[in-house]
Amino acid sequence: MNRFAKLPEARLRSLARQVERIVATTPIFDIHTHLYSPAFRKLLLWGIDDLLVYHYLVAEAFRLQDLPCEQFWQMPKTAQADWIWRQLFLEHSPLSEACRGVLTTLNRLGLDVRRRDLPALRRWFAGQTIEAHVDRCLAAAGVKRVCMTNSPFDDLERPVWEADGPRDDRFEAALRIDPLLVAWPEAARRLARWGYRVSRALSARTVEGVRRFLADWTRRIDARYLMVSLPPEFAFPGPSVCAQLIEKAVLPHCREQCLPFALMLGVKRAVNPRLVLAGDGVGRSDLQAVQNLCAGFPQNRFLVTVLSLENQHELCVLARKFRNLHIFGCWWFTNVPYAIEEITRLRLELLGLSFTPQHSDARVLDQLVYKWTHFRQILTPVLVEKYAGLAATGWRPEAAEIRRDVQHLLGGAFEQFCEKGSVPNIDTSEGPMAWLKNSGGRNAWLQRRAAPSFHPDY
Ligand code: FIX
Ligand code: ZN
């Protein structure tokens, strides 16, 4: 375990116990999920069938059988779950991370997985109320609060916000704006229908309309941050509608409201559309875009995660350069023990504690249990090794210091980063884009890349 430090065995064992206890008992703020509070009713997924039809498992099950995709999607949810259970749990051992996750969850909820009895599992879930189950899952996962993913463009979700029902403090809001940035013509039509003065061309009036839309929804849902997921080709600055809207509407809005903007980079949507939600893929992003955002907009704060393993090191190095960049999570295809351990080590070794190592991305309430149980199992030995390395130098890590550090990693660093005014302006005399404008000589890329329609003076 202790690869770099030679500590007496007994000392190492006691340090390991201490770290394990602290990691196991520190409450987590899960900064990105797809969960909802019970007030959103059917939007909050939970229970054994939703666990089994999780799109991670759908993708794995389709590899094993030649059932036509279309036929699968026409089946009712229980039949889909039956089929996946048979393919992935009965006819093969459930070794993948997502399969093991179902079993960890059931086990931690006190259910017997040895019997492989799906009807019995269903009966147990049918006997639970959603309110009690939220309490149970949060407690079993050691999670105190989660961020939801909230889209005004979702026809099921929007009316719930418009009805302005009671809020559950354990579920914070994050304003998701993918349709605005990646499907502008359709988004423009919808904004216009909702009464915002926008048209397809990005005129000053349209930008103003988009900003009003962002302001209204930020206020309505009390958003903690704005967020988008973008494909590997995302470039900034640039002539694309996406880059233009980010520059002219999203970033000014975030500055005005003192909110971070979260970018999730590297997703290739619908690589295989027949798999629906399970059909998305990954590509390596050009992180020059992140550098340009962080350098060009020192008064904005950016939360960034990248889907490609190949981007992780470069992102860490960027975070060393820009304090308005907070990196987070082992997202989706990197949320497997092999990658989490490597990425977490890399981040700790390059950044110390100033990052958020994980978010769950849970889509089903019960998944909180396995995603965080598994993550804690990885974080513990990594931290033990790091503290053992300190102890070997004669530095004695105190329990209170370890607790402070773990709290920081499990949500505290994110909260600090989000605090208004937490990122001092690099130079307040320079407005947004000043760096980009002034660096033309040294940064020939700007001339090379920016299309003629790019107006840094906007
Ligand atoms: O874009 C996202 O927020 C992704 O996390 C999801 O779209 C994805 O489907 C997912 O569930 C990954 O874990
Ligand atoms: Zn997500």
Residue 39: predicted pLDDT: 97
**Cβ neighbourhood burial of 290 (10 Å; 0-12, 13-18, 19+):** buried
How far is C-alpha 403 from the geometric centre of its chain's CA atoms? 24
Q: Tell me 172's DSSP state.
A: E
Which residue from 224, 361, 411, 229 is spatially nearest to 304, judged by alpha carbons? 229
Ligand 1 atom closest to Cα of 229?
A: 1
User: Does residue 367's CB lie within 6 angstroms of at least one atom of ligand 1?
Assistant: no
Give the separation between CA 376 and CA 345, rounded to whole angstroms.
14
Find the 89 Cα to ligand 2 centroid distance in Å: 25
Q: Could you tell me which of 260, 188, 250 has the C-alpha nearest to residue 223? A: 260
282 beta partners: 267
Ligand nearest to the CA of 267: 1
d(CA 150, CA 32): 11
* Most ligand 1 atoms within 8 A of CB, residue of 361, 365, 374 to mutate: 361
Query: Which atom from ligand 1 is nearest to the alpha carbon of 277?
Result: 9
Question: Distance, CA 177 to ligand 1 centroid (Å)?
Answer: 14
Q: Annotate 160-173 with b (16+ C-beta within 10 A) or e (fewer).
A: bbeeeeeeeeebbb
Q: Which residues contact 114 (CB under 8 A, 6 or more apart)?
A: none
Q: Which amino acid is at 147?
A: C
Distance CA 152, CA 62 (A): 32
Q: Which residues make beta-bridge pairs with 176?
A: 227
Answer yes or no: is the C-beta of 229 below 6 A from any ligand 1 atom: yes
Burial of 242-269, coded b for 16+ CB within 10 Å and e otherwise, reads bbbbbbbbbbbbbeeeebbbbbbbbbee
Find out whether 356 and 414 touch, Cβ atoms under 8 Å. yes
pLDDT at position 422: 65
Ligand 1 nearest-atom number relative to CA 227: 3
Distance, in Å, from the CA atom of 287 to the CA atom of 113, rounded to the nearest integer, reads 44
Q: What is the pLDDT of residue 457?
A: 28
φ/ψ region of 53 (left if φ > 0, alpha if ψ in -120 to 50, else beta) reads: alpha
How far, in Å, CA of 374 to CA of 335, rounded?
10
Find the 371 Cα to ligand 2 centroid distance in Å.
13
- Most informative mutation of 267, 269, 359 for ligand 1 (most atoms within 8 A of CB): 267
Give distance in angstroms: CA of 304 to centre of ligand 1: 14
Q: What is the pLDDT of residue 421?
A: 67
Q: Which residues of 231-318 form beta strands (DSSP E)?
A: 261-265, 267-268, 281-282, 302-306
**412 CB-contact burial (10 Å; exposed 0-12 / middle 13-18 / buried 19+):** middle
- The verdict on the CB of residue 56 being under 6 Å from ligand 1 is no
* Atom of ligand 1 lying closest to residue 361 CA: 13
Ligand 1 atom 13: residue of nearest CA? 332
CA 361 to ligand 1 center in whole angstroms = 7
Integer-rounded Cα radius of gyration of the chain: 23
Q: Is the beta carbon of 190 within 6 A of some atom in ligand 1? A: no
Ligand nearest to the CA of 57: 1
Distance 330 CA to ligand 2 centre (A): 11
178 C-beta closer than 6 A to ligand 1: no
- 32 CA: nearest ligand 1 atom: 3
Question: At 291, is the secondary structure helix, strand, or coil?
Answer: helix
Whole-number Å distance between alpha carbons of 106 and 125: 10
Q: How far is the CA of 443 from the centre of ligand 1 (A)?
A: 34
262 within ligand 1 shell (Cβ under 6 A): no
d(CA 262, CA 189): 25
Nearest CA to ligand 1 atom 9: 277
Q: What is the pLDDT of residue 6?
A: 79
Q: Is 277 a pocket residue for ligand 1 (Cβ < 6 Å)?
A: yes
- C-alpha span between 97 and 111 (Å, rounded): 19
Q: Is the CB of 54 under 6 A from ligand 1?
A: no
Does residue 97 line the site of ligand 1, with CB under 6 A? no
Query: C-alpha dihedral over 314, 319, 325, 326, to 10 degrees?
Result: 100
Q: Is 150 in the pocket of ligand 1 (CB under 6 A)?
A: no
For ligand 2, the distance from its centroid to the CA atom of residue 29, given in whole angstroms, is 15
Q: How far is CA 339 from CA 19, 97, 343, 358, in A?
A: 21, 11, 6, 12
CA of 422 to the centre of ligand 2 (A): 25
* Parts of the chain with a pLDDT under 50: 1, 426-429, 441-458
Question: How much is the pLDDT for 452?
Answer: 33
361 lines ligand 1 (CB under 6 A): yes
Residue closest via CA to ligand 1's atom 3 equals 229
